[in-house]
Amino acid sequence: MTISLTNASITSVVLCGGSGTRLWPLSRKSLPKQFVPLVGGKSLLALTLERAALVGPHALVVASEDHRFLVQECVESADANAASTILLEPVARNTAAAMAWAALNVAPQDLLLFLPADHHIPDAHAFADTVRHGLAAAHGGAIVTFGVQPSFPSTAYGYIQQGEALGGDPHARAVRRFIEKPQADRAQAMLLEGGHFWNAGVFLCRADVLLAGLEAHASDIAQSCRAAFATQTSDGDFRRIDATAFAACRSESIDYALMEHAAQTAGAVAVVPFTGGWSDVGSWNAVAELSPADAQGNRIHGQGFVVSASNTYVHAPHRPVVALGTDNLLIVDTADALLVASSAQAEGVKSVVALLEKAGIPQAQHHRRVARPWGAYDSIDAGERFQVKRIVVKPGASLSLQKHHHRAEHWIVVRGTAQVTNGDDTLLLTENQSTYIPVGQVHRLANPGKVPLEIIEVQSGAYLGEDDIVRLEDAYGRGT
């Protein structure tokens, strides 16, 4: 259901560029936290899109080119009747450039609601009501930020200090200043003083106001984005810009590029308080709080079991994981990596990922399961000269017409119906049927049915790398 926000036309801009390494091993470079199903089987991005649909009929999603199919999958899974256009960044350039590019894609007077893709707000309707409270100030030319009412003296968030009221607006007040992440004593003092809010990085403003602000305070970013925008092309729901032009843009957050400067001008930046629940899901402690606690403070997700334990979080979606006699522990199990950490050390996970990357551990960045535009594959087992994958193909989808120089493949259908091109032959395979693809044979796998197709693929050969693919035809624009 869409909440009426007077006659305002609001386009939500979902900023989807984070890497999410603080939630390793669940979140990795190839699958950042905004794409991981963390809440009720849904991803944070899908939930953000559902919130966006409450305030307007259209959304722009700014994401990495590398994640285009993950974004598309989340857009399709979101329970939202809003159209989404996906802006694909060829290289990451932080939030100032992402927001400028989005602003160039709408009319100057359009209102833009900028939303991080990886936040959790349980009461989406209360959030939509709060957005409505910022309309008057945004229409009047202010950049409106939505400050979260702090529930404890956090040292992990930046703060917004409110100033005087804006004219007769009963909801918005001027921003006096933005405050960096404080020390504990300063955070406690701000909480007791009142008038300070957590900076959630959510903004509402007219497109022309944002661009004018960047021209005034970060003109190089504005000019670089305009130059890159001139190269924009469209491909269905995807929009792309030239990589060289966009890479020339300075990488800077919107806070440093614009907000801190604009706040020095009276009335240029306003704050509207949000009193509902909010989390940036920025650590495993924050994820743990999404699950209910038992009498001993334990929280369980999936197949976790605790015995004589307290204040222990167990994330076990794939297999039984038992915590015996533990206290203040985080246990996160995935198909190919395990994290056991003290709750007090949750903020150190990011440094662990850097250590694993330096050691060349592939699990630092990549999951076993890999998303593809046609579905996904999971690398079940591998050894010298063989690899086993579980492949899932969406209904109506197909892989590219391809061949391999170094490997042969055996396909066994375990669910659904497969349409197989094998050299000059085309055949239909159903459950428990199989086929063999020799080295160098041109082949294709397609799902003509109404349910997902699942096959087991056994590869054998001297080289099994993913780059041993010669694509002859591809419906998804990938290179041959």
User: What residues are paired with 83 via a beta bridge?
Assistant: 58
The reported pLDDT for the residue numbered 54 is 93
How confident is the model over 448-471, as a mean pLDDT?
A: 95
pLDDT tens track for 124-143: 999 999 999 999 999 999 99
How confident is the model over 331-351, as a mean pLDDT?
A: 95
| Contact status, residue 150 vs residue 199, Cβ threshold 8 Å | no
Q: Is the pLDDT of residue 475 over 50?
A: yes
pLDDT tens track for 262-271: 999 888 999 9
pLDDT tens track for 393-408: 999 999 999 999 999 9
Burial call 185-220: b when 16+ CB within 10 Å, e when fewer? eebeebeeeeebbbbbbbbbbbbebbbebbeebbee
The reported pLDDT for the residue numbered 82 is 66
* DSSP H helices in 294-424: 349-358
Q: Is the pLDDT of residue 8 over 70?
A: no
Q: Are strands 111-116 and 196-206 parallel, antiparallel or unpaired?
A: antiparallel
The reported pLDDT for the residue numbered 17 is 84
The reported pLDDT for the residue numbered 40 is 85
User: Which SS3 state, helix, strand or coil, does residue 230 take?
Assistant: coil
Integer distance in angstroms from the first to the last C-alpha of the chain?
A: 44
Q: Distance between CA atoms of 9 and 165, rounded to whole angstroms?
A: 25
Domains of the chain, by residue range, sit at: 10-274, 284-362, 369-473
| Contact status, residue 28 vs residue 21, Cβ threshold 8 Å | yes
Give the confidence band of 1 by pLDDT, cuts at 50, 70, 90.
very low
Q: Distance between CA atoms of 122 and 99, rounded to whole angstroms?
A: 25
Q: What values do phi and psi take at 176, rounded to 5?
A: -75, -45
Q: What percent of the chain has pLDDT over 90?
A: 83
Token representation of residue 13: 């801009």
Give the confidence band of 317 by pLDDT, cuts at 50, 70, 90.
very high
Give the confidence band of 479 by pLDDT, cuts at 50, 70, 90.
low
The reported pLDDT for the residue numbered 478 is 67
Percent composition of the chain: helix, strand, coil (DSSP 3-state, to 5): 25, 40, 35
The CATH code that applies to domain 10-274 is 3.90.550.10
The reported pLDDT for the residue numbered 407 is 96
Q: Are strands 10-16 and 58-64 parallel, antiparallel or unpaired?
A: parallel
Give the confidence band of 245 by pLDDT, cuts at 50, 70, 90.
very high
Mean pLDDT of the chain: 93
DSSP sequence for 259-289: IHHHTTSTTSEEEEEE-S--B---SHHHHHT
pLDDT tens track for 249-307: 999 999 999 999 999 988 899 999 999 999 999 899 999 999 999 999 999 999 999 99
Q: Where do we find the tokens 């794939």?
A: 318
Give the confidence band of 480 by pLDDT, cuts at 50, 70, 90.
very low
Give the confidence band of 354 by pLDDT, cuts at 50, 70, 90.
very high
Q: Is the pLDDT of residue 79 over 60?
A: yes
pLDDT tens track for 227-244: 999 999 998 889 999 999
User: Which SS3 state, helix, strand or coil, does residue 345 take?
Assistant: helix
The reported pLDDT for the residue numbered 81 is 63
Q: What percent of the chain has pLDDT over 70?
A: 97
C-alpha 91: how far from its chain's center?
16
Q: Distance between CA atoms of 59 and 9, rounded to whole angstroms?
A: 11
Q: Is the pLDDT of residue 2 over 60?
A: no
Give the confidence band of 422 by pLDDT, cuts at 50, 70, 90.
very high
* DSSP H helices in 43-183: 44-53, 68-77, 94-103, 124-133, 135-139
The reported pLDDT for the residue numbered 73 is 85
Decide whether 10-274 matches 369-473 in CATH topology. no
Q: Distance between CA atoms of 215 and 211, rounded to whole angstroms?
A: 6
User: What residues are paired with 175 via a beta bridge?
Assistant: 162
Superfamily of domain 369-473: Jelly Rolls (2.60.120.10)
Give the confidence band of 357 by pLDDT, cuts at 50, 70, 90.
very high
Give the confidence band of 5 by pLDDT, cuts at 50, 70, 90.
very low
Q: Is the pLDDT of residue 191 over 60?
A: yes
